[in-house]
Amino acid sequence: MASMANAQGQRPKAGGGGGGNKFANSLPAKFKGLTTDQAREVGLLSELAVAWVGDLREGPGLDPVVDLFGPFGGQRPEVDDDDVPPGTTPPPPPEENERGLVVLSGLGRDQYTAILELCKSQKEPLDNYLAARAKLVAKLRQLRGRETKETAAEARTHEKETVELGKEMGEAEAKLAVSQAWAFIQFEAKLSADQKNYLRMLRENPKAFKLDSPAVIQTRELLATLQEPSAVQAEDMAAKMTSFLSGNAEQNAARRPHRAGTLLGKTSQKFPELTSQYLETLNPAQQDRLIQLLAAERPYTSDYVKKRLEFLAALDSLKKISTLNDKKFILAGSQMGELEARIGLAQARVFEQLRLSLSQSQLFFITQNLVPAPAKQ
Protein backbone atom coordinates (compact mmCIF):
# COMPACT_ATOMS: atom_id res chain seq x y z
CA MET A 1 0.00 0.00 0.00
CA ALA A 2 0.99 3.56 -0.54
CA SER A 3 1.38 5.72 2.54
CA MET A 4 -2.24 6.74 2.84
CA ALA A 5 -3.38 7.14 6.42
CA ASN A 6 -7.05 6.50 5.82
CA ALA A 7 -6.41 3.93 3.11
CA GLN A 8 -4.52 1.82 5.58
CA GLY A 9 -7.21 1.96 8.21
CA GLN A 10 -8.93 4.57 10.27
CA ARG A 11 -6.51 5.82 12.88
CA PRO A 12 -7.51 7.60 16.05
CA LYS A 13 -7.41 11.34 15.52
CA ALA A 14 -5.85 13.47 18.19
CA GLY A 15 -6.94 17.04 18.19
CA GLY A 16 -9.13 18.64 15.55
CA GLY A 17 -8.78 18.70 11.82
CA GLY A 18 -7.19 22.17 11.79
CA GLY A 19 -3.65 23.33 12.43
CA GLY A 20 -2.16 23.67 15.86
CA ASN A 21 -2.53 19.99 16.69
CA LYS A 22 0.05 18.16 18.76
CA PHE A 23 1.45 16.24 15.78
CA ALA A 24 2.17 19.30 13.65
CA ASN A 25 3.43 21.25 16.66
CA SER A 26 6.12 18.62 17.22
CA LEU A 27 7.51 19.23 13.73
CA PRO A 28 9.85 21.94 12.39
CA ALA A 29 8.38 25.42 11.81
CA LYS A 30 7.62 24.84 8.12
CA PHE A 31 5.19 22.04 9.04
CA LYS A 32 3.39 23.53 12.04
CA GLY A 33 0.38 24.72 10.03
CA LEU A 34 -0.53 21.24 8.85
CA THR A 35 -3.80 19.58 9.80
CA THR A 36 -3.79 16.41 11.87
CA ASP A 37 -4.17 14.21 8.79
CA GLN A 38 -1.48 16.09 6.89
CA ALA A 39 0.92 15.81 9.81
CA ARG A 40 0.29 12.08 10.02
CA GLU A 41 0.92 11.77 6.30
CA VAL A 42 4.20 13.64 6.66
CA GLY A 43 5.06 11.16 9.39
CA LEU A 44 4.39 8.24 7.04
CA LEU A 45 6.36 9.87 4.23
CA SER A 46 9.27 10.45 6.61
CA GLU A 47 9.29 6.78 7.59
CA LEU A 48 9.27 5.72 3.97
CA ALA A 49 11.96 8.24 3.00
CA VAL A 50 14.22 6.91 5.77
CA ALA A 51 13.55 3.34 4.62
CA TRP A 52 14.48 4.43 1.07
CA VAL A 53 17.79 5.83 2.32
CA GLY A 54 18.54 2.54 4.07
CA ASP A 55 17.31 0.51 1.07
CA LEU A 56 15.03 -1.31 3.49
CA ARG A 57 12.72 -3.72 1.69
CA GLU A 58 10.04 -5.26 3.83
CA GLY A 59 7.38 -7.73 2.77
CA PRO A 60 3.67 -6.93 2.64
CA GLY A 61 2.84 -8.98 5.73
CA LEU A 62 0.47 -11.89 6.04
CA ASP A 63 -2.70 -10.26 4.78
CA PRO A 64 -2.87 -7.46 2.18
CA VAL A 65 -6.70 -7.26 2.28
CA VAL A 66 -7.05 -7.13 6.06
CA ASP A 67 -8.62 -3.65 6.11
CA LEU A 68 -11.48 -4.66 3.82
CA PHE A 69 -13.21 -6.84 6.41
CA GLY A 70 -13.52 -4.65 9.50
CA PRO A 71 -11.62 -4.10 12.72
CA PHE A 72 -10.56 -7.55 13.90
CA GLY A 73 -8.24 -9.02 11.28
CA GLY A 74 -4.56 -8.45 11.93
CA GLN A 75 -5.27 -7.47 15.53
CA ARG A 76 -2.42 -7.97 17.97
CA PRO A 77 -2.27 -7.40 21.73
CA GLU A 78 -0.99 -3.93 22.56
CA VAL A 79 2.00 -3.41 24.82
CA ASP A 80 1.19 -1.05 27.67
CA ASP A 81 3.83 1.71 27.67
CA ASP A 82 3.41 2.07 31.43
CA ASP A 83 4.77 -1.45 31.89
CA VAL A 84 7.96 -0.70 29.96
CA PRO A 85 10.93 0.44 32.09
CA PRO A 86 12.25 3.93 31.19
CA GLY A 87 15.01 3.89 28.61
CA THR A 88 14.11 0.48 27.24
CA THR A 89 12.39 -0.57 24.03
CA PRO A 90 8.98 -2.18 24.49
CA PRO A 91 8.85 -5.81 23.38
CA PRO A 92 6.96 -6.56 20.17
CA PRO A 93 3.39 -7.81 20.67
CA PRO A 94 3.02 -11.58 20.50
CA GLU A 95 2.12 -13.03 17.12
CA GLU A 96 -1.42 -13.88 18.10
CA ASN A 97 -4.84 -12.60 17.12
CA GLU A 98 -6.73 -12.94 20.38
CA ARG A 99 -10.10 -12.30 18.78
CA GLY A 100 -9.48 -14.98 16.16
CA LEU A 101 -8.27 -17.39 18.85
CA VAL A 102 -11.52 -16.98 20.78
CA VAL A 103 -13.60 -17.41 17.63
CA LEU A 104 -11.79 -20.64 16.80
CA SER A 105 -12.35 -21.89 20.35
CA GLY A 106 -16.12 -21.57 19.80
CA LEU A 107 -16.15 -23.70 16.66
CA GLY A 108 -16.75 -27.40 16.33
CA ARG A 109 -13.98 -29.62 15.05
CA ASP A 110 -15.42 -29.78 11.53
CA GLN A 111 -15.76 -25.99 11.47
CA TYR A 112 -12.21 -25.56 12.76
CA THR A 113 -10.97 -27.84 10.00
CA ALA A 114 -12.99 -25.83 7.47
CA ILE A 115 -11.17 -22.65 8.55
CA LEU A 116 -7.82 -24.35 7.98
CA GLU A 117 -8.96 -25.49 4.55
CA LEU A 118 -10.14 -21.97 3.81
CA CYS A 119 -6.66 -20.67 4.64
CA LYS A 120 -5.10 -23.22 2.30
CA SER A 121 -7.55 -22.35 -0.48
CA GLN A 122 -6.38 -18.72 -0.32
CA LYS A 123 -2.74 -19.60 -0.97
CA GLU A 124 -3.01 -19.43 -4.76
CA PRO A 125 -4.78 -16.03 -4.98
CA LEU A 126 -2.44 -14.70 -2.28
CA ASP A 127 0.64 -15.95 -4.16
CA ASN A 128 -0.70 -14.34 -7.35
CA TYR A 129 -1.09 -11.03 -5.55
CA LEU A 130 2.38 -11.24 -4.00
CA ALA A 131 3.95 -12.01 -7.37
CA ALA A 132 2.22 -9.04 -9.01
CA ARG A 133 3.20 -6.80 -6.11
CA ALA A 134 6.84 -7.92 -6.29
CA LYS A 135 7.00 -6.94 -9.98
CA LEU A 136 5.63 -3.48 -9.20
CA VAL A 137 8.01 -2.95 -6.29
CA ALA A 138 10.96 -4.04 -8.45
CA LYS A 139 9.92 -1.51 -11.11
CA LEU A 140 9.78 1.28 -8.51
CA ARG A 141 13.15 0.23 -7.13
CA GLN A 142 14.73 0.76 -10.53
CA LEU A 143 14.69 4.47 -9.74
CA ARG A 144 17.15 3.99 -6.88
CA GLY A 145 20.82 4.31 -7.66
CA ARG A 146 20.60 4.90 -11.43
CA GLU A 147 24.03 5.54 -12.91
CA THR A 148 22.65 7.93 -15.51
CA LYS A 149 19.94 10.56 -15.26
CA GLU A 150 16.54 9.45 -16.49
CA THR A 151 15.54 11.09 -19.79
CA ALA A 152 12.03 12.42 -20.39
CA ALA A 153 11.29 9.53 -22.76
CA GLU A 154 12.57 6.99 -20.24
CA ALA A 155 10.44 8.60 -17.52
CA ARG A 156 7.31 8.30 -19.65
CA THR A 157 8.03 4.67 -20.47
CA HIS A 158 8.77 3.88 -16.83
CA GLU A 159 5.52 5.53 -15.74
CA LYS A 160 3.48 3.60 -18.32
CA GLU A 161 5.02 0.27 -17.27
CA THR A 162 4.55 1.09 -13.59
CA VAL A 163 0.87 1.89 -14.08
CA GLU A 164 0.26 -1.37 -15.95
CA LEU A 165 1.94 -3.35 -13.19
CA GLY A 166 -0.17 -1.46 -10.65
CA LYS A 167 -3.34 -2.48 -12.48
CA GLU A 168 -2.24 -6.12 -12.48
CA MET A 169 -1.54 -5.96 -8.75
CA GLY A 170 -4.89 -4.31 -8.06
CA GLU A 171 -6.75 -6.98 -10.03
CA ALA A 172 -4.96 -9.71 -8.10
CA GLU A 173 -5.81 -8.02 -4.80
CA ALA A 174 -9.47 -7.73 -5.82
CA LYS A 175 -9.63 -11.42 -6.70
CA LEU A 176 -8.13 -12.30 -3.32
CA ALA A 177 -10.61 -10.11 -1.43
CA VAL A 178 -13.63 -11.42 -3.33
CA SER A 179 -12.47 -15.01 -2.85
CA GLN A 180 -12.30 -14.51 0.90
CA ALA A 181 -15.59 -12.60 1.18
CA TRP A 182 -17.47 -15.26 -0.79
CA ALA A 183 -15.89 -18.02 1.31
CA PHE A 184 -16.97 -16.24 4.52
CA ILE A 185 -20.52 -15.99 3.24
CA GLN A 186 -20.58 -19.71 2.40
CA PHE A 187 -19.10 -20.52 5.81
CA GLU A 188 -21.93 -18.74 7.62
CA ALA A 189 -24.24 -21.63 6.71
CA LYS A 190 -22.08 -23.87 8.91
CA LEU A 191 -22.77 -21.75 12.01
CA SER A 192 -25.61 -22.49 14.40
CA ALA A 193 -27.91 -19.75 15.68
CA ASP A 194 -26.11 -19.84 19.05
CA GLN A 195 -22.73 -19.45 17.37
CA LYS A 196 -23.96 -16.47 15.34
CA ASN A 197 -25.21 -14.84 18.52
CA TYR A 198 -21.86 -15.57 20.16
CA LEU A 199 -19.97 -13.85 17.34
CA ARG A 200 -22.26 -10.81 17.55
CA MET A 201 -21.70 -10.70 21.30
CA LEU A 202 -17.93 -10.73 20.78
CA ARG A 203 -18.27 -7.73 18.51
CA GLU A 204 -20.55 -5.77 20.83
CA ASN A 205 -18.70 -6.65 24.02
CA PRO A 206 -15.07 -7.44 23.22
CA LYS A 207 -14.15 -7.68 26.91
CA ALA A 208 -16.49 -10.62 27.30
CA PHE A 209 -14.07 -13.17 25.91
CA LYS A 210 -11.71 -14.99 28.25
CA LEU A 211 -8.23 -16.07 27.21
CA ASP A 212 -7.89 -18.49 30.12
CA SER A 213 -10.98 -20.58 29.41
CA PRO A 214 -10.45 -24.33 28.86
CA ALA A 215 -11.69 -24.04 25.26
CA VAL A 216 -9.23 -21.25 24.43
CA ILE A 217 -6.34 -23.08 26.08
CA GLN A 218 -7.18 -26.25 24.15
CA THR A 219 -7.44 -24.32 20.87
CA ARG A 220 -4.10 -22.59 21.45
CA GLU A 221 -2.48 -25.99 22.00
CA LEU A 222 -4.12 -27.28 18.82
CA LEU A 223 -2.89 -24.28 16.84
CA ALA A 224 0.65 -24.80 18.11
CA THR A 225 0.85 -28.02 16.13
CA LEU A 226 0.10 -26.32 12.79
CA GLN A 227 2.65 -25.87 10.08
CA GLU A 228 0.54 -24.86 7.07
CA PRO A 229 -1.35 -22.62 7.57
CA SER A 230 0.34 -20.98 10.53
CA ALA A 231 -1.56 -20.41 13.76
CA VAL A 232 -1.75 -16.65 13.23
CA GLN A 233 -3.06 -17.11 9.68
CA ALA A 234 -5.87 -19.28 11.00
CA GLU A 235 -6.61 -16.79 13.79
CA ASP A 236 -6.62 -13.83 11.38
CA MET A 237 -8.91 -15.64 8.97
CA ALA A 238 -11.38 -16.46 11.76
CA ALA A 239 -11.24 -12.89 13.04
CA LYS A 240 -11.81 -11.41 9.59
CA MET A 241 -14.72 -13.74 9.01
CA THR A 242 -16.30 -12.70 12.31
CA SER A 243 -15.76 -9.02 11.58
CA PHE A 244 -17.23 -9.32 8.08
CA LEU A 245 -20.26 -11.43 9.00
CA SER A 246 -21.19 -9.68 12.26
CA GLY A 247 -20.98 -6.13 10.94
CA ASN A 248 -22.33 -4.14 8.01
CA ALA A 249 -20.33 -2.04 5.55
CA GLU A 250 -20.70 1.16 7.56
CA GLN A 251 -19.54 -0.51 10.77
CA ASN A 252 -16.61 -2.23 9.11
CA ALA A 253 -15.52 0.93 7.28
CA ALA A 254 -15.64 3.05 10.44
CA ARG A 255 -12.66 1.37 12.06
CA ARG A 256 -10.21 -0.70 10.14
CA PRO A 257 -6.81 -2.11 11.12
CA HIS A 258 -3.55 -0.51 10.07
CA ARG A 259 -1.89 -2.00 7.00
CA ALA A 260 1.81 -1.65 7.69
CA GLY A 261 3.18 -3.07 4.45
CA THR A 262 3.48 -0.40 1.72
CA LEU A 263 5.08 -0.54 -1.71
CA LEU A 264 8.15 1.33 -0.46
CA GLY A 265 8.58 0.03 3.07
CA LYS A 266 6.86 -0.47 6.38
CA THR A 267 5.02 2.16 8.40
CA SER A 268 4.07 2.14 12.06
CA GLN A 269 0.54 2.52 13.37
CA LYS A 270 1.39 5.36 15.72
CA PHE A 271 2.75 8.75 14.74
CA PRO A 272 6.46 7.92 14.22
CA GLU A 273 8.92 9.43 16.67
CA LEU A 274 11.61 9.71 14.02
CA THR A 275 9.61 12.23 11.98
CA SER A 276 10.85 15.36 13.74
CA GLN A 277 14.44 14.14 13.73
CA TYR A 278 14.32 13.35 10.05
CA LEU A 279 12.66 16.62 9.06
CA GLU A 280 15.08 18.64 11.22
CA THR A 281 17.97 16.95 9.43
CA LEU A 282 16.72 18.27 6.07
CA ASN A 283 17.50 21.77 4.80
CA PRO A 284 14.64 24.11 3.76
CA ALA A 285 14.82 23.12 0.09
CA GLN A 286 14.64 19.44 0.99
CA GLN A 287 11.72 20.06 3.33
CA ASP A 288 9.94 21.87 0.48
CA ARG A 289 10.26 18.77 -1.69
CA LEU A 290 8.44 16.73 0.93
CA ILE A 291 5.70 19.34 1.26
CA GLN A 292 5.33 19.41 -2.53
CA LEU A 293 5.02 15.62 -2.56
CA LEU A 294 2.31 15.83 0.11
CA ALA A 295 0.33 18.23 -2.08
CA ALA A 296 0.96 16.32 -5.32
CA GLU A 297 -0.22 12.95 -4.01
CA ARG A 298 -3.30 14.27 -2.18
CA PRO A 299 -5.73 14.01 -5.14
CA TYR A 300 -4.61 10.42 -5.74
CA THR A 301 -4.80 9.43 -2.09
CA SER A 302 -8.26 10.98 -1.70
CA ASP A 303 -9.51 9.10 -4.75
CA TYR A 304 -7.88 5.90 -3.52
CA VAL A 305 -9.53 6.12 -0.10
CA LYS A 306 -12.90 6.76 -1.75
CA LYS A 307 -12.54 3.78 -4.08
CA ARG A 308 -11.35 1.47 -1.31
CA LEU A 309 -14.34 2.32 0.86
CA GLU A 310 -16.62 1.73 -2.12
CA PHE A 311 -14.92 -1.63 -2.62
CA LEU A 312 -15.51 -2.52 1.02
CA ALA A 313 -19.21 -1.67 0.65
CA ALA A 314 -19.44 -3.75 -2.52
CA LEU A 315 -17.93 -6.73 -0.71
CA ASP A 316 -20.61 -6.39 1.96
CA SER A 317 -23.31 -6.39 -0.71
CA LEU A 318 -22.26 -9.91 -1.69
CA LYS A 319 -24.18 -11.11 1.37
CA LYS A 320 -27.41 -10.35 -0.49
CA ILE A 321 -26.77 -12.34 -3.69
CA SER A 322 -26.63 -16.04 -4.54
CA THR A 323 -24.41 -15.97 -7.64
CA LEU A 324 -20.97 -14.39 -7.73
CA ASN A 325 -19.80 -12.17 -10.58
CA ASP A 326 -16.41 -10.66 -9.85
CA LYS A 327 -15.99 -8.53 -13.01
CA LYS A 328 -16.87 -5.21 -11.35
CA PHE A 329 -14.54 -6.02 -8.47
CA ILE A 330 -11.63 -6.74 -10.80
CA LEU A 331 -12.22 -3.45 -12.60
CA ALA A 332 -12.33 -1.59 -9.28
CA GLY A 333 -9.16 -3.37 -8.20
CA SER A 334 -7.42 -2.30 -11.40
CA GLN A 335 -8.38 1.32 -10.73
CA MET A 336 -7.12 1.16 -7.14
CA GLY A 337 -3.91 -0.51 -8.29
CA GLU A 338 -3.28 2.25 -10.82
CA LEU A 339 -3.70 4.91 -8.15
CA GLU A 340 -1.46 3.03 -5.76
CA ALA A 341 1.22 2.69 -8.44
CA ARG A 342 1.07 6.40 -9.31
CA ILE A 343 1.44 7.35 -5.65
CA GLY A 344 4.33 4.92 -5.19
CA LEU A 345 6.03 6.30 -8.29
CA ALA A 346 5.68 9.91 -7.12
CA GLN A 347 7.09 8.96 -3.73
CA ALA A 348 9.98 6.96 -5.18
CA ARG A 349 11.03 9.85 -7.44
CA VAL A 350 11.02 12.37 -4.58
CA PHE A 351 12.70 10.00 -2.13
CA GLU A 352 15.51 9.36 -4.62
CA GLN A 353 15.91 13.08 -5.23
CA LEU A 354 16.13 13.64 -1.48
CA ARG A 355 18.60 10.78 -1.02
CA LEU A 356 20.90 12.12 -3.73
CA SER A 357 20.71 15.64 -2.28
CA LEU A 358 21.81 14.59 1.21
CA SER A 359 25.18 15.82 2.37
CA GLN A 360 27.63 13.37 3.89
CA SER A 361 26.77 14.59 7.39
CA GLN A 362 23.02 14.28 6.74
CA LEU A 363 23.44 10.79 5.30
CA PHE A 364 25.59 9.70 8.24
CA PHE A 365 23.08 10.96 10.82
CA ILE A 366 20.09 9.36 9.11
CA THR A 367 21.87 6.06 8.54
CA GLN A 368 23.23 5.81 12.07
CA ASN A 369 20.25 7.13 14.01
CA LEU A 370 17.06 6.72 11.99
CA VAL A 371 17.37 3.80 9.60
CA PRO A 372 15.98 0.66 11.30
CA ALA A 373 18.61 -1.81 12.43
CA PRO A 374 17.94 -4.55 9.82
CA ALA A 375 18.77 -2.13 7.03
CA LYS A 376 22.21 -1.46 8.49
CA GLN A 377 23.25 -5.10 8.36
Cα–Cα distance for residue pair 111/157, rounded to 1 Å: 50
Element housing 299 (H / E): helix 284-317
The pLDDT value given to residue 73: 74
106 burial via Cβ count (<10 Å: 0-12, 13-18, 19+)? buried
Among 98-107, 199-208, 365-374, the range with the most confident prediction by mean pLDDT is: 98-107
Is the predicted pLDDT of residue 259 greater than 80, yes or no?
no
Cα–Cα distance for residue pair 361/375, rounded to 1 Å: 19
Report which residue type is found at 172. A
Average pLDDT, integer, range 117-126: 94
320: how many CB neighbours lie within 10 A of its CB? 7
**Using 50, 70 and 90 to split pLDDT, how confident is the model at 62?**
low
Coil, strand or helix at 261 = strand
Tell me the average pLDDT of the chain.
85
Per-domain boundaries in the chain: 22-81+92-376
Is the predicted pLDDT of residue 160 greater than 90, yes or no?
yes
| Percentage of the residues of the chain whose pLDDT score is greater than 90 | 58
The pLDDT value given to residue 261: 63
Cα–Cα distance for residue pair 267/48, rounded to 1 Å: 7
- Taking only the tens place, the pLDDT of each residue in 127-154 is 999 999 999 999 999 999 888 888 999 9
272: preceding bond cis by omega (within 30 degrees): no
| Three-state SS annotation for 209-225 | CCCCCHHHHHHHHHHCC
Coil, strand or helix at 191 = coil
The sign of the dihedral angle between the CA atoms of 206, 248, 310, 175 is: positive
Q: Would you say 239 and 206 are in contact if contact means Cβ atoms under 8 Å apart?
A: no
**Using 50, 70 and 90 to split pLDDT, how confident is the model at 257?**
low
Average pLDDT, integer, range 148-163: 94
The pLDDT value given to residue 270: 65
Q: Would you say 42 and 290 are in contact if contact means Cβ atoms under 8 Å apart?
A: yes
Q: Would you say 104 and 112 are in contact if contact means Cβ atoms under 8 Å apart?
A: yes
Q: Would you say 278 and 49 are in contact if contact means Cβ atoms under 8 Å apart?
A: yes
Residues 6+ apart with CB under 8 A from 46: 272, 274, 275, 278, 279, 290
**Using 50, 70 and 90 to split pLDDT, how confident is the model at 171?**
very high
The pLDDT value given to residue 26: 84
The pLDDT value given to residue 265: 80
The pLDDT value given to residue 147: 80
Which one has a higher pLDDT value, 354 or 377? Answer: 354
189 burial via Cβ count (<10 Å: 0-12, 13-18, 19+)? exposed
CA dihedral 104→58→344→297, nearest 10 degrees, is 70
Report which residue type is found at 374. P
**Using 50, 70 and 90 to split pLDDT, how confident is the model at 156?**
very high
Residues 6+ apart with CB under 8 A from 109: none
Cα–Cα distance for residue pair 209/102, rounded to 1 Å: 7
Average pLDDT, integer, range 4-16: 40
- The residues facing 262 across adjacent strands are 265
Rg (CA), the chain: 22
The pLDDT value given to residue 33: 86
The pLDDT value given to residue 3: 44
| Percentage of the residues of the chain whose pLDDT score is greater than 70 | 84
Is the predicted pLDDT of residue 13 greater than 50, yes or no?
no
Whether pTM exceeds 0.75: yes
Q: Would you say 231 and 54 are in contact if contact means Cβ atoms under 8 Å apart?
A: no
- Taking only the tens place, the pLDDT of each residue in 189-198 is 999 999 999 8
**Using 50, 70 and 90 to split pLDDT, how confident is the model at 227?**
confident
Which one has a higher pLDDT value, 3 or 134? Answer: 134
